[in-house]
Structures are given as C-alpha cells and as structure tokens.
C-alpha cells in the first residue's frame, strides 16, 4: 500500500488520549482511542487481505506471519519486563493475577480474562499491569475468522462482500447497543460488540471509490472526522454508556479522516503528518503497550497517589521506552522479512510458537505458586491475607436454586429465636461474618438477601445494574413474609447511591420507575415506602449507616507500607475528611428516616482510632478487603454494635 502519513498521525490521535486518560490529564473520554485504533486496523489489514484474496495470492500462513511480526516482539518485551518488575514489587495476590493475565496472552483471550475479572470484588484495574492487552486480543480474535469470511464473500464478488460486511456491521452494532445497556462489562471487553468497529475500516478498504470529489468536500470530511474524535475525547466520561451507539462518534470520525484523505492529502493530512505527531503515530503501538505498566508500578511506589511531577516522569519514560521498543524491536522484526529467504514464514511462526510457550510457562509459574509468597515474611503476608466477602455464601447466586435465600448463622431447625434477615448490597455481604458469629452465639437464623451494587430498597434500580432489578426489592419483601422474619437489617453503601464517586462516576445513582427525580428524592420516597411495607408485616427494622471508605485499596496499601517500612496507617483517611465528604449524605439519611419506626446503628465510632484516624489496619491485620468493603477482621470490629440487634 502507498504510505499515508495521515494514518500515522491518526494513530497519534488515538494513543495520546488513552495515555492522557490514564494519567488523569483532561481527557475524560480518552478511552475512545482504542476504537480509533480498531477502525485503522480494519482499514489497513482489510486492504491487504482484500487485495490478496482478489488476486488469488492470499496465504493464511503469510497472513499470520505478518501478524506475529507486528504484534508479538514488542508485546513479549513488555510482558517479560512486567514479569520482572512484578517479581520485585508486586504482592503475591497481584503477582498471581499477573500470572493469569500473562497466560491469557498466547491464547488470545486477554479480553475474556479481564471481562471475567471485572466483577465487583476482583482485583482493581489499577493493579493489573497488562490490562491494556484486552484490545489486542479483540483484534486478533477478529483476524482469526476475517480472512476466511473474505474468501467466502469474494467467491460471490466484491459487491457481495460489501453487502456481507454491511450486514455484519448492522448485527454487531445492534448487539453492541443492546448489550451495553444490559451487559455493560461483557459489551466493553468482548469481540461481538466490537466487530462493527473493525468492519467499518474494512468497508473503507472495499469501497475504493475512484471518482474524484471536490477538494473542499475532502477537507470537510477529514476535519469533521478530527472534530468527532476530539468531541468524544473531551465530552465522554466514565458515565457515558460505551461502546453502544456512543462509539459511533469516534469510529465514524476515524473513518472520515481515512476517507477524506484517500484521494488527495488535505490540510488535515498536513497537520497529522507533521513530524512530531507522525512520530508519535509511528511509536503508538509500543507507547500503548508501555505506558500502562509504568503507571501501575508508579502507583505501587507512591501508595496509589501520583503527583504532577510523577505523571510527567511517567509520560517521558513511556515515550522513551516506546521509542526504544519501536527502533530496536518493532522495526528490525518487521523489516527482516525483506531479507529472509524462502521458508521464513514457517520459521517465524515456529519462533512465535516457542515464544508463546515461554510466556505461558511464565504465567503458570506465577499463578500456580500463588504469586511467589516466599519473597516476603509471614507477618507481611498476613496483612494481605483477606478472605473474599463471598466466603460465607454457598454460591454467587444470591437467590438459591430452590428459591430460598442463603443462610448464615444457625440453621432454621436448630434456631432458638425468631429468624432475621440482612437486606443489602455488597456492604451487607462484607458484614455477614459478624452476623454468622453472632447468629450462632444467640441461636438465631440469619438469612441474607444481598446483591452487589443494588440498593436495598423496594422499587429502585441504578444505571449500573439496569431496570431488571426493579423487582428485586419486591422479591425480598415476599421472602420476609413467607419466612416469618421478625427483624430486618438494612445495610448499604448509601453515598454510592446518592452522589457521584470521587472520580465522577454516576452510574450508581439511585432511581425508581419514573427515573427523573433527584437521587435524594428517590431515596427518601423509597425509604418511606419500604419501611411502611415492613411495618405492615410487623417487622422490626434496623438501619446500619455507611462504613467509611479509604483512599486506596487497603490490603495492598498496608502490605506495601510494611515492605517499605512505613506506617501501616500512613495513607488512611482522617475522620474529619470523611465527615466533610459524608455530611450531605448524613443529612439526607436523617431527613429520610425522621419519624419512622427504625433503629439506627453507626459503625464509624468503632472504626475510628483515638487520634481521629480511620485506620486501615489494627494489630497487623487489614480492616478492609479493598477500599470500602470491610474484611472479615474488620467486620469483627463491629460485633459489639451488631450484637444490639440480637439482644
């Protein structure tokens, strides 16, 4: 293909927003850079495959040789460097997870792995140094079947291929719009909802319109495309449903830039082809690979907080690593095909297979050893040894197969006092160890009606979980009636539903059937409605207020502090800072509960030290399993408070 400097510039316009988004530098929608890459890839690789299929010269082995040369060398360098850094700095749990993500690379299923790990209690993305490789897996999965589909389509001609690809775009886009609403994590990570983005580039390769257009039209198209991309970068955020229909803006933008510069270079091509921008485009693949591990390990060394200076250093290091990787790894491997003799294809594929086996073995070593824990002392390891909040649940299906609720505490036939029910979200799950101990102590059966990220109030839902959970509260109330429950304990992360998180995420704001009122109004109405229903059933209601949250994931933070010889609670939040953040939430709760027959419990005093600090650890043990869920040991601290309910 003739070289197009505008496409290298477009690569820069794709990678820089991703880097700035991850650094928190004024690009709230910077993640759309990945989608721009998909369109570029679909166009470039689609053009090559289509030309070879039409001419009858296509070879699947040669195709995968090119993919191996393009993807594997730089990726292997990043994986090995990340593995070495992980051995030095990562705690066992994170090194074990790193091993699993390394194992996913040669199998081309990194996106599937990170989708499975995107659950509510899984390792946070900020501790996954290979998270960025999910998009590479999406591309390579696409190219597993794309050449075969093109061969099939072209048996019927170019027009049939065009129609076939348009049908695939329509099906994939339709699924993307639907799944983004219903299965947002699945939609984000998995191939079916991304096929249309790559195929949009393929359509550009298929069109090859020969009729000249007036230059002004190409100018409008190409500049309009840049405008679409930049609009998405600066107006999208974590609250934007994505991919779905919103991904049309950046993807069509990328397509317009490619299409507008196809016949003649426009002024936008001159900008995109400007030396510094074009150079960033040339190193964009390596820059995409290197920047995220550098951010992750920098956070390791700074207890999660990155100063402006540190971010500048990370950016410079990313550019340096990317430049060296491009110059000494990418270029030599890609140009070598011009010098190698016949039989090079099989040789390259064999080397790729050996490299993949080595990578797989590295991942297995980390995973099967549970993160090489012998690197640290027993006391240090104890800080991170936190059981999952799910440890007391028989399954992650919170309504059992036989339609009954899970039980903690005593069994029904052994109970010596009337049963009670814990109704709540994941904060309720994290308190179940305390209810288990006290239920057995007092001979009380404790049922658990718990669902992560779901308000424990009838007739409510959040954008994160969707309207399907509107009926969850009604199902719980039916269980209260049928099981003869006499006490209901309502537990939730209330600030979650009443205001955006500190990073601006609004996907958990509470809503009801109408879906138009302010969260505080919905909350007050739902509280009064739910408590009135419970009162009508003759139930005694207890309301547990918010557990204070921490600025960083606690087990990792305290373990790193121990390794580095720092105060375990040096990064803990102060009571004053928490109260300043929470006072609006407290006022809403006070207003909502006034005059209602409900008893309130406040866990904050038991989680506050004498010096006004909300500690992360006590007696060498982590109080939280992440930044806001109590660990079983943390829940134990609240047993004196919760025992009031049993007594």
Predicted local confidence at residue 125, as pLDDT: 75
Residue 79 structure tokens:
């994986």
- CA atoms of 476 and 457, how far apart (whole Å): 9
DSSP annotation string for 393-412:
-S-S-SS-TTSPPPEEES-G
Predicted local confidence at residue 341, as pLDDT: 52
Tell me: the pLDDT tens digits for 179-225?
Answer: 988 888 899 999 999 999 999 999 999 987 556 788 899 999 999 99
In the chain, where the domains are located: 5-366, 407-549+575-613+630-646
Tell me: the pLDDT tens digits for 555-585?
Answer: 888 888 888 788 888 889 999 999 998 999 9
> What is the fold of 407-549+575-613+630-646?
Rossmann fold (3.40.50)
- CA atoms of 235 and 141, how far apart (whole Å): 30
Contacts of residue 482, defined as CB under 8 A and 6 or more positions apart, other chains included, come to none
Tell me: the pLDDT tens digits for 97-127?
Answer: 999 999 999 999 999 999 988 755 555 677 8
Contacts of residue 490, defined as CB under 8 A and 6 or more positions apart, other chains included, come to 423, 424, 456, 457, 530, 541, 542, 543, 544
Kindly report the three-state secondary structure assignment for every residue of 474-514.
HHHHHHHHHCCCCEEEEECCHHHHHCCCCCCCCCCCCECCC
Tell me: the pLDDT tens digits for 425-484?
Answer: 889 988 988 998 898 888 888 888 888 888 999 888 887 777 767 788 888 888 888 888
Give the residue ranges of DSSP H helices in 372-446: 378-384, 426-442
Under DSSP, the state recorded for 463 is T
pTM for the full predicted model: 0.80
Tell me: the pLDDT tens digits for 258-281?
Answer: 999 988 888 999 999 999 999 999
pLDDT score of 42 more than 90: yes
Residue 517 C-beta-side C-alpha neighbours within 13 Å = 16
> Lowest-confidence range among 89-103, 126-140, 320-334, 335-349?
335-349
| Alpha-carbon distance values, 188 to 126, 471, 611 (Å) | 17, 26, 44
Task: Give the rounded distance of the alpha carbon of 230 from its chain centre.
Answer: 23
As a whole number, mean pLDDT of residues 319-330 equals: 95
As a whole number, mean pLDDT of residues 72-87 equals: 95
Estimate the crossing angle of helix 344-368 against helix 60-89, to 10 degrees. Answer: 30
């Amino acid at each position: 293909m003739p070289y197009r400097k505008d496409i290298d510039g477009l690569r820069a316009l794709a990678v820089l927003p991703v880097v700035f988004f991850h650094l928190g530098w004024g690009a709230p929608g910077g993640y759309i850079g990945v989608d721009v890459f998909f369109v570029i890839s679909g166009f470039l690789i689609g053009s090559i495959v289509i030309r070879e299929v039409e001419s009858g010269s296509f070879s699947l082995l040669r195709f995968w040789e090119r993919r191996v040369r393009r993807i594997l060398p730089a990726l292997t360098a990043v994986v090995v460097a990340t593995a070495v850094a992980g051995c030095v700095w990562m705690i066992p749990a994170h090194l074990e997870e790193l091993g699993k993500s390394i194992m996913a690379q040669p199998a081309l299923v990194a996106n599937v792995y990170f989708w499975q790990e995107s659950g509510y209690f899984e390792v946070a993305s900020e501790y996954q140094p290979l998270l960025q490789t999910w998009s590479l897996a999406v591309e390579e999965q696409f190219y597993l079947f794309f050449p075969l589909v093109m061969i099939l389509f072209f048996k019927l001609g170019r027009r049939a291929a065009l129609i076939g690809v348009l049908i695939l775009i329509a099906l994939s886009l339709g699924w993307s719009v639907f799944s983004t609403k219903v299965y947002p994590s699945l939609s984000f990570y998995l191939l079916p909802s991304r096929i249309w983005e790559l195929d949009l580039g393929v359509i550009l390769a298929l069109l090859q319109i020969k009729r000249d257009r007036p230059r002004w039209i190409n100018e409008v198209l190409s500049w309009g495309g840049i405008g679409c991309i930049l609009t998405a970068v600066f107006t999208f955020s974590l609250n934007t449903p994505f991919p779905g229909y919103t991904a049309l803006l950046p993807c069509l933008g990328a397509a317009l830039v490619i299409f507008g510069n196809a016949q003649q270079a426009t002024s936008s091509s001159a900008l995109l082809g400007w030396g510094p921008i074009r150079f960033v485009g040339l190193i964009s693949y390596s820059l995409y690979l290197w920047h995220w591990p550098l951010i992750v390990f920098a956070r390791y060394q700074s207890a999660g907080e990155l100063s402006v200076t540190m971010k500048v250093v990370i950016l410079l290091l990313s550019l340096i690593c990317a430049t060296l990787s491009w110059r000494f790894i990418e270029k030599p491997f890609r140009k070598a095909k011009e010098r190698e003799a016949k039989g090079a294809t099989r040789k390259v594929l064999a080397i790729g297979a050996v490299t993949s086996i080595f990578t797989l073995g590295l991942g297995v070593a980390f995973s099967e050893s549970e993160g090489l824990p012998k690197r640290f002392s027993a006391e240090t390891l104890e800080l991170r040894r936190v059981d999952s909040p799910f440890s007391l649940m028989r399954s992650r299906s919170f309504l059992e197969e036989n339609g009954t609720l899970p039980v903690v505490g005593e069994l029904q036939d052994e109970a010596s006092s009337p049963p009670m029910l814990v109704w709540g979200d994941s904060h309720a799950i994290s308190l179940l160890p305390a209810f288990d101990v006290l239920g057995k102590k007092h001979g009380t059966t404790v049922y658990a009606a718990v669902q992560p990220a779901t308000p424990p109030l009838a007739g409510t839902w959040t954008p994160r979980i969707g309207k399907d959970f509107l009926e969850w509260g009604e199902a719980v109330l039916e269980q209260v009636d049928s099981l003869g429950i006499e006490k209901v304990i309502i537990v939730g992360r209330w600030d979650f539903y009443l205001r955006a998180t500190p990073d601006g995420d609004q996907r958990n704001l509470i809503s009801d059937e109408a879906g138009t009122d302010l969260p505080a109004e919905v909350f007050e109405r739902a509280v009064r409605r739910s408590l009135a229903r419970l009162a009508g059933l003759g139930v005694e209601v207890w309301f547990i207020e918010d557990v204070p949250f921490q600025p960083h994931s606690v087990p990792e933070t305290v373990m790193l502090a121990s390794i580095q010889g720092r105060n375990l609670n040096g990064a803990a939040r102060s009571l004053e800072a928490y109260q300043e953040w929470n006072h609006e939430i407290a006022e809403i709760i006070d207003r909502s509960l006034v005059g209602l027959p409900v008893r309130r419990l406040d866990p904050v005093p038991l989680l506050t030290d004498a010096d006004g600090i909300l500690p992360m650890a006590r007696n060498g043990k982590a109080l939280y399993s992440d930044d806001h869920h109590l660990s079983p040991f943390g829940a134990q601290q609240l047993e004196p408070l919760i025992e009031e309910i049993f007594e």
